[in-house]
Amino acid sequence: MERSFQGAPAELELSSLTALTPLDGRYEQKVKELRPIFSEYGLIRFRVLVEIKWLLKLSEIDEVMEVPNFSKDARSFLEGVVYNFSVEDALEVKKIEKVTNHDVKAVEYFLKQKCGSHPEIAQAYINNLAHALMLKEGVNAVILPVMDELLQAIFKMAKENAHIAMLSRTHGQPASPTTLGKEMANFGSRLSRQRRIISEVEILGKFAGAVGNYNAHIAAYPEIDWPRVAEEFVRSLGISFNPYVTQIEPHDYIAELYHSVIRFNNVLMDFDRDIWSYVSLGYFKQVTKAGEIGSSTMPHKVNPIDFENSEGNLGVANQSLDHLSMKLPISRMQRDLTDSTVLRNMGVGFGYSLLAYRNALQGIKKLQVNEACLNEDLEQTWEVLAEPIQTVMRRYGVPEPYEKLKELTRGKAVTKESIRKFIEGLEIPEDAKSILLKLTPQSYIGAAEGLAKAADS
């Protein structure tokens, strides 16, 4: 085998080891559900599906005499072409494409070949809605279920840790306590909202001819209500109908979908970074499997690699999704071909997103709450009680409460004893004083526990 200057073979057989991108290499097993949908095979399969569905639709229109009303046997034959579509069939389409130099026309010729043996079926028809079907299946069958799995894991953390007090760190500095569960509920709620928005994006399709006006349809069969037929056909595929199009469906819905996924990913990135920080602070320990290496050189370490991998892959995903969102809605005049090559990358952003979701899930399974560390942190920060003390002082008209608390707390070591002494010296009602004296950093959590328990996807 010929070798390049660096010593590597000039050509390598494609495998998971030699794949150009890690989605088809290192991470193949973690994203394999997307391959039958967003691969070249998936695109061809959906094109074949659309062509055959359209042919069946035409066969039901009496005025289109060139396409007969198929018998049950003929319909079964056509449906079998879709149901049994194989990799070998896709390779045959690619073989035809080498001659036609046109990928859509190759599908048409493939179907003419495939159906030629059946006496009732003379011709196959056209392609359009494959990308919409790919997105519909990819989102509903793969992406949303894994998002739901992630949401369940985060809401479980919220409920199980609803009562565990934790020091807040606004600007990285000690702040009013919360609970670990409440912080997880925040992320669960945010992710749940974005997941709902993703599920509500309308997948749109067009079927209105070369420039969106049914020109050829009406010229050939002026008596047929083509807009109605087109809408019925598109909706029969489980896709919403877009009546105002050019040669292409303008892809605005794809931008809506991808931007929604970007927002979900951004919230998850925020989650990954916070968990990373909590691991760094010792709030979580990480449980590893026997034989796993936590650090390549330092045996005492267990690095939070799952959350780091999730964060990194979310960044790659968002870059791809953002480019498609910005590019696809823009097409010169009634169409140019810049969308064609870009649409072949529809699965890239989903692939890296799916990988990131599974990274995060894997990381969550390793987490073990370190309550002793959380409690110790709170014990060292009695100054956080300055907020409720100041608020009560204001309620009872104590002059200059902020200034007095500032004098007590800023730049000084604040202890349980110094706080109690300050409270005891306040001129406020005894019942109010009693409430303040019972406060601890661990108990000063407001409604956090209830909010965490009430959180739900």
Hey, which residues are catalytic here? 171, 295
SS3 of residue 447 by DSSP: coil
Q: What is the CA radius of gyration of the chain?
A: 31
Q: Which of 81, 76, 80, 72 is nearest to 111 (CA)?
A: 81
Residue 410 DSSP code: T
Write down the residue that tokens 């003379």 correspond to: 122
How far apart are alpha carbons 122 and 233 in whole angstroms?
Answer: 21
Number of neighbouring beta carbons within 10 Å of residue 7: 6
Token digits of residue 14: 């494609």
Query: What is the rounded CA–CA span in Å between residue 154 and residue 161?
Result: 11
Task: Count Cβ atoms below 10 Å from residue 229 Cβ, excluding itself.
Answer: 19
- SS3 for 114? helix
Are 143 and 354 spatial neighbours (Cβ–Cβ below 8 Å)? yes
* β 240-241/204-205 pair status: parallel
Using CA atoms, how far residue 144 sits from 55, 113, 333, 350, 455, in Å, is: 32, 38, 35, 11, 20
The set of residues, in sequence order, having a beta carbon less than 8 Å from that of 147 and lying 6+ positions away, is 191, 195, 198, 264, 357
Enumerate the H helices of 208-251 as residue ranges: 215-220, 226-236
Among 185, 190, 181, 136, residue whose Cα is nearest residue 160 = 181
Furthest-apart CA pair in the chain: how many Å?
101
**Residue 169 and residue 379 in contact, taking contact as beta carbons nearer than 8 Å:** no
